[in-house]
Amino acid sequence: MSLEVSDLQKRYKDVEALSGLSFSLAPGKALALLGPNGAGKSTAIKILTTLVRPDAGKIAWDGRDLRNDPAALRDLVGYVSQELAMDKVLTAVEFMRFTAGLLHLPWRAHRERALALIDQLGLSEAKDRRVGDYSGGMKRRLDLAAALLHNPKVLILDEPTTGLDIEARELIWRLIEQFKADGGAVILASHDFQEVQHLADYVLILEQGKVGAQGGPEALKQALGRWIVRFSSHEFMDADALAAAKAVFAEQAGYRVLDQEVRCLALACSNDADMGAVHEHVFATATRAGLPVFSLNIQHPNLEDVYRFSLRGES
Amino acid sequence: MNAMIMEIQALAMRWFIHSKRRPVVLIAGLFQPFIWLVLFSAVFKNSPMQALVGADSYMGFITPGALVFTAFTGALNGGVPILFDRELGFLDRLLAAPLRSRFSIIWATGFHIFVMTLLQCLVIVLVTMVMGVRFAGGPAGIGVFLLVLALITMLFTTFSLMLAFVLRYHFELISIIMIISLPLMFMSTAFAPIDYMPGWLVFFVSVNPITLAVEPLRAVFFQADWGLSTVLLQTPLFNLSMSGALGVLVGLNVLTALAAKGVIQKKLA
């Protein structure tokens, strides 16, 4: 059993919102969609939650094509939207009951599960309060509880922890991890690299509707290099200083100039040297070339680097 | 329980909780029909129109109009909360849910408005009874009374929700409601008999769904011997019977439902 998405396409008038999105997602795994605003993440999620019809492409579960069966796709999916779209008049319990009705779950048989989810998400004491009196974090937790009520096969989360405090964020992460451990598949759109690193088994970076880099987080990081070096010769490197530094480091074996970032030059180092050796080499190279060293930062690549340089065509 | 009934029940329950927690909406809905009743009764007390009405008093004459008006305005406003849901993103929650039919949204809203309308109409009937208006139609007349309110409620709820599915913002719908509600009420026999209308208006009045709802109610309110063949309205073009009025209302409901189904398939599928 897996979710197979192939060649999804969507165009809004002159804008190509999504072009050729394909992936496969197995139970117990999480896919993260990364990309800047307007990259196509929301369009992808709206298609997967049947809120928008694709112009082309296929969505299949367990080999069954669901293109013409949106109701079957809706049965599979639990969805937590980016907006805190809750009914402020209902209490948490009433909201869960309402959700149960929409999912055709008899309340008597599912009340215990609803209350358990409310409890797991730390909302027991507030369960009879109106949702309108909830904080943003409490609303997000309740939204997740509602999305999990029918034990969906696929959980789709659109920036599920935006604006939450650390405790609420970790609570939600734990529940998502539990969902994965129980065999659920997760699709996550997020701008939070820590969240993606923590939850995702597979990362797909979208840019202007097209798929950029994709792969496992570790594989993507390794593909970028062993070390990422950020070098600046001055506090504020102007274009001339950046060009000078670029010229010096472009010729170094084992080093690749990724791009110039604001005020510094970024390099990927793919040789096996340790951090000290890399530091020593960069420092010596700069000094030999007459470049002052204002700052030198060396670290293993992280997902933010993958994202940042993927958007610049480096990965 | 049948899946569709479950989803309708859940959707309607939400609106009933809203009404319970925000009773001001229900109470405010009573003011306008009472204002019509009191003001129109006072204004037309000594007018020649008094001689044309088939009831004992003008208050009696306009009571069915006030009842239909209550159902009509409640139903016509039915799409506004859906547009608030759309604006706040809550409608996406409904559309991403595995509803057996998107028409459940219309059924649930219509059912809620019908029950609220019945409560409001009960108050109006009790107050007008105290003021001397009597219901002559018997148990079958009560059946027609309920049927007419249900038909007019579903007709305009469906129409309003259909607009709500097409429009994006609640103020657009409110503008349309403002444009169509008063002409529909005043181009009907809710407040004045058809004989009182100028000739050019008679056709519009006689095919107006408000007239088609008011006239059967007026018959069961004031005629103990009403029947399905009772002629409710005589116009130069046709005579409107009880069965004819009810039949056209049913037909209009079917046509509006088909149109709404088309809109749902195009906009919400």
Flag residues of chain B having pLDDT under 70.
1, 47-56, 269
B16 touches chain A (CB under 8 A): no
Of B7, B18, B88, the CB nearest to A89: B18
> Chain A contacts of B89, Cβ < 8 Å?
81, 83, 85
* Residues of B in Cβ contact (< 8 Å) with A50: 95-96
B14 touches chain A (CB under 8 A): yes
The structural domains of chain A, ordered by start, are: 3-216 (3.40.50.300), 227-299 (3.30.70)
Q: Distance between CA A52 and CA B28 in Å, rounded?
A: 38
Q: A83 to chain B: nearest residue by CA?
A: B89
The closest CB to that of B13, out of A70, A85, A98, belongs to A98
A89 and B10 within 8 Å at the Cβ level: the answer is no
Tens-digit pLDDT profile for residues A88-137: 999 999 999 999 999 999 999 999 999 999 999 999 999 999 999 999 88
Are B92 and A81 an interchain contact pair (Cβ–Cβ within 8 Å)? yes
Q: How confident is the model at residue B31, as a pLDDT? A: 81
Residue appearing with tokens 């129409």: B159
Give the DSSP per-residue string, chain A: --EEEEEEEEEETTEEEEEEEEEEE-TT-EEEEE--TTSSHHHHHHHHTTSS--SEEEEEETTEE-TT-HHHHHHHEEEE-SS----TTSBHHHHHHHHHHHTT--HHHHHHHHHHHHHHTT-GGGTTSBGGGS-HHHHHHHHHHHHHTT--SEEEEESTTTT--HHHHHHHHHHHHHHHHTT-EEEEE-S-HHHHHHH-SEEEEEETTEEEEEE-HHHHHHHH-SEEEEEESSSS--HHHHHHHHHHHTTSTTEEEEEEETTEEEEEE-SS--HHHHHHHHHHHHHHTT---SEEEEE---HHHHHHHHHTT--
Given this model, what pLDDT does residue A314 score? Answer: 54
State the pLDDT at residue B51.
Answer: 57
Q: What is the pLDDT of residue A313?
A: 61
B1–A contact, CB cutoff 8 A: yes
Report the residue of chain A nearest B19, measured CA to CA: A89
CA of A184, closest CA in chain B: separation in Å? Answer: 18
Separation of alpha carbons B23 and B120, rounded Å:
12
Q: How confident is the model at residue A312 (pLDDT cuts 50, 70, 90)?
A: low
Is A81 within 8 Å of B89 when comparing Cβ atoms?
Answer: yes
Whole-number pLDDT of residue A260: 62
Each residue's pLDDT tens digit, A40-96:
999 999 999 999 999 999 999 988 888 888 889 999 999 998 888 899 999 999 999
The answer to whether the Cβ–Cβ distance between A74 and B98 falls below 8 Å is yes
- Nearest residue on chain B to A105, alpha-carbon basis: B6
Neighbours of A116 (CB within 10 A): 12
Amino acid at A109: A
* ipTM score of complex: 0.87
Q: Helices in B131-169 by DSSP H: which ranges?
A: 138-166
List of chain A residues whose C-beta atoms are within 8 Å of the C-beta of residue B267: none
Flag whether residue B3 sits within 8 Å of chain A, measured between CB atoms: yes
Handedness of CA B41, B46, B51, B55 (dihedral sign): positive
User: CB of A133 within 8 Å of any CB in chain B?
Assistant: no
- pTM for this entry: 0.87
B185-233 pLDDT per residue, tens: 989 998 888 888 888 888 899 899 999 999 999 999 988 889 999 999 8
* CB within 8 Å: B90 and A94: no
Q: Does B3 contact A104 at a Cβ distance shorter than 8 Å?
A: yes
Give kind and range of the element (H or E) at residue A252: none
The answer to whether B269 faces chain A, any CB pair under 8 Å, is yes
Which residue of chain A has the CA closest to B99?
Answer: A102
Q: How confident is the model at residue A7 (pLDDT cuts 50, 70, 90)?
A: very high
- Can you give the pLDDT at residue A315? 45
